[in-house]
Chain A
Amino acid sequence: MKLSGAEIIIKSLQEEGVDAIFGYPGGQVIPFYDALYDATLKHYLVRHEQGAAHAADGYARATGKPGVCVATSGPGATNLVTGIATAYMDSIPMIAITGQVPCSMIGKDSFQEADITGITLPITKHNFLVDDINDLARIIKESFHIATTGRPGPVLIDVPKNVQVESTNYKYPETVSLKGYKVTMEANKAQVKNAVNLIKESRRPVIYAGGGVVNSGASSELYRLAELTSSPVTTTLMGIGSFPETHPLSLGMLGMHGTKAANYAVTDCDLLIAVGARFDDRVTGNIAEFAPKARIIHIDIDAAEIGKNIRIDVPIVGDVKNVLTELNKKLEQTESHEWYNKIIELKDKYPLAYENNGKLKPQFIIEQIYDLTKGEAIITTEVGQNQMWAAQYYKYTKPRSFISSGGLGTMGYGFPAAIGAKVGCPDAVVIDIAGDGSIQMNIQELATAVQYNIPVIVAILNNNYLGMVRQWQELFYDRRYSHTDITGPDFVKLAEAYGAMGIRVTEPGQVKPALKQAIEAKRPVVIDFVVDREENVFPMVPPGGANHKMLGG
């Protein structure tokens, strides 16, 4: 069957089970869009390519399937960059397809030419420039393989216009042969044995679970490990939802804005079982004082994470699900009443708390969202205070229900990600918890949500500040609020101008009715919650400080 390059891309995407893509046309992808005109593949036209990348990312995080975004060459491609970097830092499977000037024009500073494979080299798991149409199908096959196996990540495919136009015999390859790409799935048996021994000797174990548990689909294995060993579980931001926060063994999140119970437990534990987590600086604080009494078991699919930031006693390289399955088989039920009681005591003594003074508090809003959705919603976030409150005050019980830019910390992520998540999970209530700063970074996607009637809810915690930076300025910069006092539009009018619903909430009593109305509206809704302006996120470990020395809360 002879097909054009553009048709090959579409056929190959369908071979890979892709049912929705997010993109924006332009000069060098017109052939692709021309082929798309006749195809059954669902395409969502975003309003800025960054939105396409984040939507593909949100789709991937919500469904576990790779997200696909498309942009033209030059500015289209460079607009994807923040979204690709976001996915890379959080190990999210994504395929970014970019148009490129024709092969004969490459390197000549042609109109809308950018070296996007060069630009994205450090922020993709791998990337390709397709200079021969006969390589196209194989490269797409390899891209999906690389993006979705091992430690997942984004792969970019740059397709010059002539390659989209030329035609060749099409056959989608069945297998992949990459000499330099090997994934270790199964654990080393000796190391599993060592881990079992450490667990048996431990009196005060803590499990520290990260995004790897979510990526690997290992929540039930993690649950089993926690119950078998009576270990409390703390999660990273990326690990949220991998262990039900309603469980007595759940400590919530650890690190800079983690719970006191989690940070104290980690500081006091004699064994830390790190599962699909990477000892990020926002988690460890001052690394010399992180888990100082503990021996450490580190389970990760990426060998390069072992020993990168901290000394490990037992490294286990492998797929988290496989490793935990092996580990659980070899463990017997242990009881540790003393440690368990201590954990319960810590949780009772140091609950997350805020001052309830009758004003509209952002934390209260998150609690109300939880209450109303019963933990069944998909929550996406922007970055800053909104993200931390969303992480702290909603109780996540399922993986893939909390979607947030962890590693890169990308403001403007949450709303397009919510659109992607809703496309992937149309039956779920999807709520973007936003700040008034962040939402203005990709507010244009309201038009996308309205055009396709994607009923996501944007809950803006509006304090007219860049709240997290203001908090740092308050705490560490002598209250010098340099350029964090930010104004915004009338979000209700703005929503209405886009054809979405807008609701303003200024009193605590209005929160629940507004949320109810938004959920029942079945169309895009923006709720402008005018909150107490100088509320802070607590507890807080000052940057570089020790985790057990927290401020506030």
Chain B
Amino acid sequence: MRHILAVLVENNPGVLTRVAGLFSRRGYNIDSLSVGRTEHPNVSRMTIVVEGDDLVLEQVTKQLHKLVDVIKINDITSEEYVDRELVLVKVGADPAVRGEIIQIVDIFRARIVDIGQRTLIIECTGDEGKISAVIESLKPFGIKELVRTGKIAMLRGHKFTSLNEFKEEE
């Protein structure tokens, strides 16, 4: 089963290496990992999507907790959450097919962010299903290049993965 971990870490040099190194040396599989700063300048947040049964996840979480730079781990898989991914796709787009591509872009509420002579770059955000669907739809036009961010996720409503203790409900 796939789990989504929201992990708060000290924004120290090498913290990404520590986390990634832990996964590789213990043989855990990362589906995706995205990282960036949070509302606290000294704290970064990783969203790690990891594949494994409950036993593996228990070990992953415990081992992560042992890293001194890891402040907090939240396995949000079983909770209500919003998750998003951003993808940029460069597709072949001769003038003849541009209309068709624009239609697809509209349907998915994606955006065209660059127009070249024979290409378009399309930006799309959404959950994994939507991203996969838009990629599938664009395939027939010839995908020249594709980059995606990996999943980021956040708990819905009044639940938090945050350092602000007063906001927390655990």
Q: How far is the CB of B67 from chain A (nearest CB, A)?
A: 7
Q: A180-B67, A304-B66 are in contact. Are A117 and B21 (CB under 8 A)?
A: no
* B18, closest chain A residue (CB): A121
- Which stretch, B68-76, B95-103, B133-141, B142-150, touches the partner chain A? B68-76
Q: With an 8 A cutoff between CB atoms, is B62 at the interface?
A: yes
Which of B13, B65, B71 is in CB contact (< 8 Å) with A179? B71
Which of B25, B58, B59, B71 is in CB contact (< 8 Å) with A180? B71
A532-552 CB contact bits vs B (8 Å, 1 = yes)?
000000000000000000000
Q: A121-B21, A178-B68, A181-B68 are in contact. Are A307 and B14 (CB under 8 A)?
A: no
Contact between chains at B68 and A303 (CB < 8 Å): no
Q: With an 8 A cutoff between CB atoms, is A308 at the interface?
A: yes
Contact between chains at A302 and B66 (CB < 8 Å): yes
A180-223 CB contacts (< 8 Å) to partner B: 180-181
Q: B18 — which chain A residues lie within 8 A by C-beta?
A: 121
Q: With an 8 A cutoff between CB atoms, is A146 at the interface?
A: yes
* A305, closest chain B residue (CB): B62
Q: With an 8 A cutoff between CB atoms, is A118 at the interface?
A: yes
Q: How far is the CB of A158 from chain B (nearest CB, A)?
A: 11
* B12, closest chain A residue (CB): A128
Measured CA separation A302–B65 after assembly (Å): 10
Q: With an 8 A cutoff between CB atoms, is A523 at the interface?
A: no
Q: With an 8 A cutoff between CB atoms, is A129 at the interface?
A: yes
Contact between chains at A307 and B13 (CB < 8 Å): no
Measured CA separation A117–B55 after assembly (Å): 30
Q: How far is the CB of A278 from chain B (nearest CB, A)?
A: 13
Contact between chains at B62 and A304 (CB < 8 Å): yes
Q: With an 8 A cutoff between CB atoms, is A292 at the interface?
A: no
- Which residue of B13, B59, B68, B69 has the most chain A CB atoms within 10 A of its CB atom? B68
A274-316 CB contacts (< 8 Å) to partner B: 302-304, 306-308
Q: A126-B68, A180-B9, A180-B70 are in contact. Are A121 and B17 (CB under 8 A)?
A: yes
Contact between chains at B65 and A303 (CB < 8 Å): yes
Measured CA separation A181–B71 after assembly (Å): 7
Measured CA separation A125–B55 after assembly (Å): 23
Contact between chains at A180 and B63 (CB < 8 Å): no
Q: How far is the CB of A127 from chain B (nearest CB, A)?
A: 9
Contact between chains at B63 and A304 (CB < 8 Å): yes
Q: With an 8 A cutoff between CB atoms, is B10 at the interface?
A: yes
* B55, closest chain A residue (CB): A307
A444-477 CB contacts (< 8 Å) to partner B: none
Q: With an 8 A cutoff between CB atoms, is A122 at the interface?
A: yes
* B60, closest chain A residue (CB): A304
* A127, closest chain B residue (CB): B14
Q: A302 — which chain B residues lie within 8 A by C-beta?
A: 66
* B61, closest chain A residue (CB): A304
Measured CA separation A179–B58 after assembly (Å): 21
Q: How far is the CB of B115 from chain A (nearest CB, A)?
A: 40
Contact between chains at A122 and B62 (CB < 8 Å): no
Q: A308 — which chain B residues lie within 8 A by C-beta?
A: 59
Measured CA separation A308–B63 after assembly (Å): 10
Q: A117-B14, A122-B25 are in contact. Are A304 and B59 (CB under 8 A)?
A: yes
Measured CA separation A129–B18 after assembly (Å): 14
Contact between chains at A179 and B10 (CB < 8 Å): yes
B5-46 CB contacts (< 8 Å) to partner A: 9-10, 13-14, 17-18, 21, 25
Contact between chains at B71 and A307 (CB < 8 Å): no
Measured CA separation A180–B42 after assembly (Å): 12
Q: How far is the CB of A114 from chain B (nearest CB, A)?
A: 15
* A131, closest chain B residue (CB): B13
* A118, closest chain B residue (CB): B17
Q: B9 — which chain A residues lie within 8 A by C-beta?
A: 180
Measured CA separation A118–B18 after assembly (Å): 9
Which of B21, B55, B65, B72 is in CB contact (< 8 Å) with A304? B65
* B73, closest chain A residue (CB): A180
Contact between chains at A129 and B13 (CB < 8 Å): yes
Q: B163 — which chain A residues lie within 8 A by C-beta?
A: 179
Contact between chains at A180 and B69 (CB < 8 Å): yes
* B21, closest chain A residue (CB): A121
Q: A125 — which chain B residues lie within 8 A by C-beta?
A: 68
Measured CA separation A308–B65 after assembly (Å): 15
Measured CA separation A181–B9 after assembly (Å): 11
Q: B70 — which chain A residues lie within 8 A by C-beta?
A: 180
Q: A122 — which chain B residues lie within 8 A by C-beta?
A: 21, 25
- Which residue of A122, A180, A304, A308 has the most chain B CB atoms within 10 A of its CB atom? A180
Measured CA separation A117–B15 after assembly (Å): 12
* B70, closest chain A residue (CB): A180
B134-170 CB contact bits vs A (8 Å, 1 = yes)?
0000000000000000000000000000010000000
Q: How far is the CB of B93 from chain A (nearest CB, A)?
A: 42
A128-148 CB contact bits vs B (8 Å, 1 = yes)?
010000000000000000100
Q: A121-B18, A122-B25, A308-B59 are in contact. Are A146 and B68 (CB under 8 A)?
A: yes
Q: A178 — which chain B residues lie within 8 A by C-beta?
A: 68
Contact between chains at A180 and B62 (CB < 8 Å): no
Measured CA separation A125–B63 after assembly (Å): 12
A80-122 CB contact bits vs B (8 Å, 1 = yes)?
0000000000000000000000000000000000000110011
Measured CA separation A302–B62 after assembly (Å): 9
Measured CA separation A178–B69 after assembly (Å): 8
Measured CA separation A303–B63 after assembly (Å): 9
Q: B66 — which chain A residues lie within 8 A by C-beta?
A: 302, 304
Q: B10 — which chain A residues lie within 8 A by C-beta?
A: 179-180
Q: B55 — which chain A residues lie within 8 A by C-beta?
A: 307
Q: A307 — which chain B residues lie within 8 A by C-beta?
A: 55, 58-59
Q: A146 — which chain B residues lie within 8 A by C-beta?
A: 68
Can you list 13 residue pairs at the A/B interface with Cβ under 8 Å?
Answer: A118-B14, A121-B17, A125-B68, A126-B68, A129-B14, A180-B10, A180-B70, A180-B71, A180-B72, A181-B68, A302-B66, A304-B63, A304-B65
Give me 16 other A-B pairs in contact (C-beta within 8 A), A179-B10, A303-B62 excluded.
A117-B14, A118-B14, A121-B17, A121-B18, A122-B21, A125-B68, A126-B68, A146-B68, A178-B68, A180-B9, A180-B10, A180-B69, A180-B71, A304-B59, A304-B62, A307-B59
Binding site for A on B (CB under 8 A): 9-10, 13-14, 17-18, 21, 25, 55, 58-59, 62-63, 65-72, 163
Binding site for B on A (CB under 8 A): 117-118, 121-122, 125-126, 129, 146, 178-181, 302-304, 306-308
Nearest 3 CB-CB pairs, A to B? A304-B62, A180-B71, A126-B68
